[in-house]
Amino acid sequence: MNAAAEERAIRNYLGLPLSFVAQAELPAATAYEAFIGSSGKVPTRDNLHDFLNALIWLSFPAIKARLNALQAAELAKAGTPSGSSKPRGAARDAATIFDENAALLLVHDNAEGQALVAALRNHQWSEVFVAQRQLFGRDAEVWLFGHALLEKLVRPYKAITAHTLVVAAPESYFALGEDARRGWIDDRVAADLAQHGSLVGRLTPLPVLGVPGWCQGQDSDFYADRAVFRPKRAK
């Protein structure tokens, strides 16, 4: 993993070379996020969760660096930039949720795409996954980002739900190859996080096994399961 990080010239938000180190290198009095920010070193245990986290660093380094910068800024506001990770606030919680459990929904920035997003935000699941099924793979696609989400999907179950950031994409995006799309996403989302500074109120639920083609048996009964495809709560 370190060889891959070096080959890709991955840096943290302060420009320090990124490397993966044993968990024991994290000082007892230092917050995990603060340590990554100040040293460029990612404490990594010998387990699947941290392995997947490392893979996301290698795949989306700009997004991960920007999330780390957001966390560091919130720690500094709390007056504990290198100490306890508490107290936590809404911005830190949203960044952590995104880091652990996010998916990215890339949607063509046209009328059909906007209608799909509106249906998703209103939990109109039949409209999203059945009526507009043909959009997936053509004008819409889902990328997984959260390493805890990936870990759940090693042994998938129907109720797995991602906190999803919608990313509007131009037509030219959908003509790119896979590596170029990943690079476009990394740059676009990192810039978005830098501009907005917070993810509070921006994430929407998405039952990932409802994505067309991601699970067998996606018939009308599959999407009628209200324990998974829940209606939106009344305010």
For 124-156, how does the pLDDT look when each residue is reduced to its tens digit (9 = 90+)? 999 999 999 999 999 999 999 999 999 999 999
Same domain, 113 and 217: yes
Do both 120 and 140 map to the same domain? yes
State the total domains in the chain: 2
Burial class (CB in 10 A: 0-12, 13-18, 19+), 66: buried
Judge if 73 and 124 occupy the same domain: no
Residue 196: predicted pLDDT: 87
Q: Is residue 228 part of a domain?
A: no
Domain membership of residue 65 as a residue range: 2-88
Q: What is the pLDDT of residue 87?
A: 59
- Pair (30, 64) in one structural domain: yes
CA separation for the pair 37, 21 (Å, rounded):
14
Residue at 97: amino acid letter: I
pLDDT of 6-23, one tens digit each?
A: 999 999 999 999 999 999
Question: Which residues of the chain, if any, have pLDDT below 50?
Answer: 85
Against a cut of 0.85, is the pTM above it?
Answer: yes
